[in-house]
Amino acid sequence: MKTIFEKSNNIDGITLTDESVVPNFIDEKFLRNGKCGLPQLSELEVLRHYKELSDLNFCIEKGFYPLGSCTMKYNPKVNELLASLDGFANLHPSQDDNDCQGALELMYKLQETLKKVTGMDAITLQPAAGAHGELTGMMVIKKYFEAKGESRKKVIVPDSAHGTNPASAALCGFEIISVKSNEKGQVDIEDLKTLLNSDIAAIMMTNPNTLGIYEENVLEISKLMHENGSLLYYDGANFNAIMGHTNPKLMGFDVVHLNLHKTFATPHGGGGPGAGPVGVVDKLKEFLPIPVIAYDGEKYFRKYDLAHTIGNVRDFFGSFGVLVKAYAYILMMGKNLKEASENAVLNANYLKEKLKKYYSLPYDVKCMHEFVLSGEDLKHECGVSTLNVAKALMDENTHPPTVYFPLIVHEAMMIEPTESETKERMDEFVDVMIKIYNEAKANPEKVISAPHTTPVKRIDETQAARHPDLNFKD
């Protein structure tokens, strides 16, 4: 497909004014002499160009999107409608509290709901993404120990953790210590015990972990950590595994972040604007970013006087539009939030049982919202790697699952159908996975050279990530 610059044919899309009129209020030395180098096309050609581009994009409205850990569930359109209401969309963030009681009430009630969902005592809505929530949480933990006069420099992270966990802790200046997983895919308690000492500030975990497995020993872990004077951080990005059934507070955690753009059905923000609210237990609430939204029984207001606040992590109160969408989703779901988790878990287990007959399942236990297959056997048998399977899926109008993560599973395929999908869609996915499996055995070259139908075939992934060339050069 050509770029819009290549398509440019010097036809004016629109005529602005009489060309003989030269604006005389701009000093001549600032006026451009030559062409400005922008493409020129008729309005219809511009529309066609962007429609064609958007058709190349894959999205959940187009097909199955089982991208593990990313929770690509359906984002109901009514949420968009509500977020675009004039009173929300056109409100200025510096508006006086008295003039925006409705917006403040919405944020306050969202905070209260998220307190219930997580079991935590206070919430900040400010962070713009999951990883940003982690950073906020780790800043809170760091400042908490500083205020106590303790110098704890290390954070424990399981070897199965999401990559953002160690990155966030490291950004706060912590040293990362890895704790091993045992043969059940859970934190190895004996290994954990050997790592504990007065230098350990916290452990960052998620439960279920990134293998989709529930940590059976989570209560023992929280006891060990607290006895060591350390805190526990819960990565709640994929909260649809447990929502309404249990919560991080009951498991003994002190800090948690949620991804509204995963669990609470708001669009993914590509690093923001999403929303990664953070919840904390009572003893940490004076450390949260400001402002938090408060209510004195009569009026909602922005509260700035938190004794130990870490300051701002974002302008104003975060991604307000996203907060509206998430709150709309929560109100719409009501008690069914619990059922959403049940269906997410049911769907994942259904797919796991169907697919394990073909692709190996290293940890063959009941999973939560996702599970991890390994393409290692297939690779040994016929030279077809997980990457090849992923590319072949693109020819089948299916988004590939997350691959090569978590790192502790070789040739990993991390599959998360979410609760949005029907049995029919999941069966179609199973059929496609079996088709690729059979093709790999019969005609491996075909799978190894996939994709065959996409506009761009294989790119150099390292170059694309490290040296993206985003400019059009004539």
Chain residues that interact with ligand PLP, rule: CB under 6 A: 69-70, 129-131, 162, 164, 206, 235, 237-238, 259, 274, 276
Task: Choose between 275 and 361: whose C-beta lies nearer to ligand PLP.
Answer: 275
Which lies closer to ligand PLP via its Cβ, residue 215 or residue 235?
Answer: 235
Q: Report the distance separating Cα 380 and Cα 134, nearest Å.
A: 38
Assign 318 to helix, strand or coil.
coil
Rounded least distance, CB 336 to ligand PLP, Å? 23
Of all residues in the shown chain, the one whose CB is closest to ligand PLP is 130
The least distance separating ligand PLP from the CB of residue 262, rounded to whole angstroms, comes to: 6
CB 242 within 8 Å of CB 250 = no
CB of 90 to ligand PLP, least distance (A): 27
The helix (run of H) or strand (run of E) holding residue 53 is helix 43-56
Residue 406 makes CB contacts below 8 A (sequence gap 6+) with: 160, 161, 210, 211, 372, 412, 414
- Which residue number, 261 or 352, has a Cβ lying nearer to ligand PLP? 261
At 61, which amino acid appears? E
Identity of the residue, 266 or 374, whose beta carbon is nearer to ligand PLP in the bound complex: 266
Q: Please, which residue, 71 or 111, has the CB nearer to ligand PLP?
A: 71
DSSP symbols for 321-333? HHHHHHHHHHHHH
What separation, in Å, do the N-terminal and C-terminal C-alpha atoms of the chain show? 16
Shortest separation between residue 313's beta carbon and ligand PLP, angstroms: 13
Which residue lies nearer to ligand PLP by CB, 125 or 382? 125
Residue 23's DSSP bridge partners are none
Q: Which is nearer to ligand PLP, 235 or 439 (CB)?
A: 235
Q: What is the nearest approach in angstroms of ligand PLP to the Cβ of residue 360?
A: 23
Closer to ligand PLP at the Cβ: 158 or 244?
A: 158
Q: At what angle do helices 336-355 and 320-333 cross, to 10 degrees?
A: 90
Question: Which string of DSSP letters, residue by residue, matches 121-149?
Answer: SEEE---SSHHHHHHHHHHHHHHHHHHTT
The least CB distance from residue 397 to ligand PLP, in Å, is: 24
Pairing of strands 371-374, 412-415: antiparallel
Q: Least CB distance from residue 421 to ligand PLP, whole Å? A: 18
E strand residue ranges, 80-199: 122-124, 154-158, 175-179
| Residues 326 and 333: beta-carbon distance below 8 Å | no
Task: State the DSSP string of 370-388.
Answer: -EEEE-HHHHHHHS--HHH
CB of 98 to ligand PLP, least distance (A): 34
Dihedral (CA of 259, 240, 159, 437) sign: negative
Question: Strand, coil or helix: what is 282?
Answer: helix
Q: Which two three-digit tokens encode residue 70?
A: 């990313």
Handedness of CA 13, 18, 24, 29 (dihedral sign): positive
Nearest to 368 by CA among 64, 69, 63, 67: 69
Between 300 and 317, whose beta carbon lies closer to ligand PLP? 317
Q: How far apart are CB 348 and ligand PLP at their closest, in Å?
A: 14
CB of 181 to ligand PLP, least distance (A): 15
Q: What angle do CA 431, 433, 436 make, to 5 degrees?
A: 110
Task: Rank residues 83 and 256 by Cβ distance to ligand PLP and give the closer one.
Answer: 256
Residue number with CB closer to ligand PLP (185 or 451): 185
What's the 3-state SS for 236-249? ECCHHHCCCCCCHH
Nearer to ligand PLP, 165 or 388 (CB): 165
210/164 Cα distance (integer angstroms): 12
Per-residue DSSP letter, 426: H
* Minimum gap (Å) between residue 130 Cβ and ligand PLP: 2
Q: Smallest distance from the beta carbon of 258 to ligand PLP, in angstroms?
A: 10
